[in-house]
Structure 1
């Protein structure tokens, strides 16, 4: 098993890519700690993992609250005294065009996409420095190129992509690797929020516009992103850090 006895934290692990990652990491031997605000769905993922013989725990956590984040890390580290893998996956599409953005929507997008991962990383670090580890962020193709649909999302994910590079430089001396996965448009419950942010948006037309630029001809599946995250979490990527890895079917090419 590629993650045997590793202690992992995955945020937004109750659905979509995070759920796929939680199940895959557990299958590969990790003890998975799922952080999400959706308690019912999060507990359901834990039950599914345990039914398959894996180990998982759920912690209801508001990822926009630094206080809540710290409290959850305290609970996990009190139990295990170490963290081997952190996947900062929590995020939101945010509002659409500039003319539609209000301050509260802008702040929420930055808090969930950028601030949450920054502070979760801060509080996990003391429990990773002794043994090294892997920190993964979920950025986006919109963190590599501009988003046609949302400049706020590109602002947030661009910040994540550069935070990955900066943390990789500063944490390498502790044998901590920092990378991100950069999904393209992915078939998860959040996809429709990317393709139709406004009532007037034609989701089918937007989907066709996106797919016309994807060489592999389909949207990503949650499992595609989870597999990339597994590679970055495992020792197979032991000499890779500071990388923002597109999982986009060739879109950014």
Structure 2
């Protein structure tokens, strides 16, 4: 079950955190994984996959730049002849309210989290229409409930949620399924960096506090998000489209 043999998958932001976990798991399940990331270090993930017997390629790209995305996707098609899976995972965070979020910061988050997803959808869907496929967009619990100091981030993830529904509706006849995942707090290198920057000397205390905001009592693991993404992209999920899946330790439903 949940095999991805003979499928080509694009994973944006596939070099760290949730994206890395998805890239590794998909390769283990037989997919050829095309990692798109802005960081050169992400090539190490592709190398790790290949060293372990999987098949992966790294493409450096700024997803907020449509010309770059267009060139990379065209290159992937030329090399692999098909795109069966698109994981729109790349994104950035921002802390602030509507009042103290600058126009520059708002535009920066919008360009990556919304325009970046649009760019990938815009370039991949025409090729995916040839034989169908599965798209998973990474939304967030911030799209579903109000979070303190997450104005710009919440706005962008709400847009991702809405784009998911639109794509699912528009491409039913092309056998393209589109779903989204809304993680709660997940323990990634970003979390560790955030704590080190904002709470020096109190990292362990704040980590415990943030962990307990999930009713289940801990943060999620990147691998747990990857397993849900795998299911949604597998043939076993062929009857599922236009859905959002909170994976949040009970945060959305049990905190309200």
TM-score with structure 2 setting the length: 0.92
- CA RMSD after TM alignment: 2.0
Counterpart contact for 1:94–1:153, Cα < 8 Å: yes
Counterpart contact for 2:212–2:218, Cα < 8 Å: no
- Which runs of 5 or more structure 1 residues have no equivalent in the other structure? none
Once the two structures are superposed, what CA deviation does each residue of 1:129-167 show, in whole Å capped at 9, x if it has no partner?
121100010000101112213111110001101111111
Aligned 1:198-237 pairs, distance under 5 A: 207=207, 210-237=210-237
Are the structure 2 counterparts of residues 211 and 28 from structure 1 closer, same or farther at C-alpha, using a change threshold of 3 Å? same
Q: Distance in 2 between matches of 1:203 and 1:110?
A: 29
* TM-superposed deviation, 1:80: 1.8
2:107 is matched with: 107
* TM-superposed deviation, 1:215: 2.2
SS of the counterpart of 2:57?
strand
1:58 is matched with: 58
TM-score with structure 1 setting the length: 0.93
Aligned 1:175-194 pairs, distance under 5 A: 175-192=175-192
* TM-superposed deviation, 1:102: 1.3
Are the structure 2 counterparts of residues 97 and 197 from structure 1 closer, same or farther at C-alpha, using a change threshold of 3 Å? farther
Q: Is 1:134 paired with 2:138?
A: no
1:145 is matched with: 145
- Which runs of 5 or more structure 2 residues have no equivalent in the other structure? none
* TM-superposed deviation, 1:251: 0.5
Q: Distance in 1 between matches of 2:96 and 2:189?
A: 18
Q: Is 1:244 paired with 2:244?
A: yes
Counterpart contact for 2:64–2:119, Cα < 8 Å: no
Counterpart contact for 1:95–1:197, Cα < 8 Å: no
1:15 is matched with: 16
